[in-house]
Copies of this chain bind each other. A is one copy, B any other.
Amino acid sequence: MQKIQKYIDYVNLSLSRISIENNHPKELYIPIKYSLDLGGKRIRPALLLLANDLFGGKDENAIEAAMAVEIFHNFTLIHDDIMDNAPLRRGQPTVYKKWNSTVAILSGDVMFAQSVQHLIKSKTIHLAEILDIFSQTAIEVCEGQQIDMNFETQKKVSIEEYLKMIELKTSVLLAASLKIGAIIGDSGTENANHIYEFGKNLGIAFQLMDDVLDLYGNPKTFGKQVGGDIISNKKTFLLLKAVELAKGEQKNELEFCLNSSVIDNESKIKRVTKIFDSLQIKQHAETEMNHFFNSAISHLDSIEAPSEKKKVFEDFAKSLMLRVN
């Protein structure tokens, strides 16, 4: 884990060195700087550097690509926040709220272009390949966001559709970051594909755990309203599984809770949780989560690389799954 922290620091240092002093107009560049300065865990770029290192690549060959995926990620957040009317991001006003949607659209677009600029500065002979992964991933992330938006008005969402949505919306960028790092480190195609699958499956497991924690997390450490997803009728794995399994009286009760305008939040959470518990929804989610987690680990096992270096990835994956909030 120390190694990941080292890379997180390296990414933060590199991002902090981006100067906007000579950039004009300021209306475009101040929000970009603001967005990057808001922080974030920098997991994707750190894992990109770690994947490059896994195959013996030098850090300086991959740092520009690492910055590219982080800038790209922040571009997607800026545009998503417009679409979701989100007032806050990391406890601060979103770009769209602090300025306006025009500024948010355009500064996001610039960040997308900047991420391409950083990517092509990577020291690699595989430029066409990493750009292919990058642009394909960019498209998939947008598809995931659109599918997620569709869910809001879509009456019936299957578990399969849900899993595809979280794969596209959150997992593929993690997976692509790992794969791009591996390719810059000259991993070869097979290893690059395995690390992609490691990241993709881990990302899905992580999102499923997020769904579980929203309701079953420790209220003291969770930081958000426990049961927030239930209050907003969010189509998470838990709810979709319950809709799939509930029959008879339970089904009526669930539908009442989802559609009633008179029920208060506290009793809504209580009554829905009762249904979830009797249908063993938490266990179903954990089974699914373990399936994806084990699949991730099995792809990690298949990678040809020094086992002490692979251990860092395994430890990281386990630490993600052990978090309590």
Question: Which residues of A come within 8 Å of B, CB atoms?
Answer: 24-25, 27-28, 79, 82-83, 101-103, 105-106, 108-110, 112-114, 116-117, 120, 127-128, 131-132, 134-136, 138-139, 142-143, 145-147, 149-150
Contacts and interface: CB of A to CB of B under 8 A. Distances in A.
B25 A146 contact: yes
A83 B109 contact: no
Contact of A146 (B28, B79, B114): B28
B25 A150 contact: yes
Contacts of A112: 109, 112-113, 138
Contacts of A136: 113, 117
A145 B106 contact: yes
Contact of A143 (B28, B102, B132): B28
Contact of A109 (B120, B132, B138, B147): B138
A113 B143 CA distance: 12
B28 A142 contact: yes
Contact of A110 (B103, B114, B139): B139
B27 A106 contact: no
| Number of chain copies forming the complex | 2
A75 to B, nearest CB: 8
Nearest to A134: B116
A135 B150 contact: no
B79 A106 contact: yes
Candidate in A101, A109, A110 with the most chain B CB atoms within 10 angstroms: A109
5 contacts: A82-B102, A83-B105, A106-B142, A116-B135, A120-B135
A25 B83 contact: no
Contacts of A146: 25, 27-28, 103, 106
A132 B118 CA distance: 10
A142 B102 CA distance: 11
A135 B113 contact: yes
A143 B24 contact: yes
A110 to B, nearest CB: 5
Given A28-B146, A105-B83, A139 B120 contact: no
A102 B139 contact: no
A102 B117 contact: no
Contacts of A135: 113-114, 116-117, 120
Contacts of A106: 79, 83, 142, 145-146
Contacts of A114: 135, 139
A142 B108 CA distance: 10
B113 A142 contact: yes
Shortest Cβ-Cβ A-B pairs, 7 listed: A113-B138, A116-B135, A83-B102, A117-B135, A113-B139, A28-B146, A113-B135
Nearest to A104: B105
A150 B27 contact: yes
Contact of A120 (B103, B113, B128, B143): B128
Contacts of A24: 143, 147
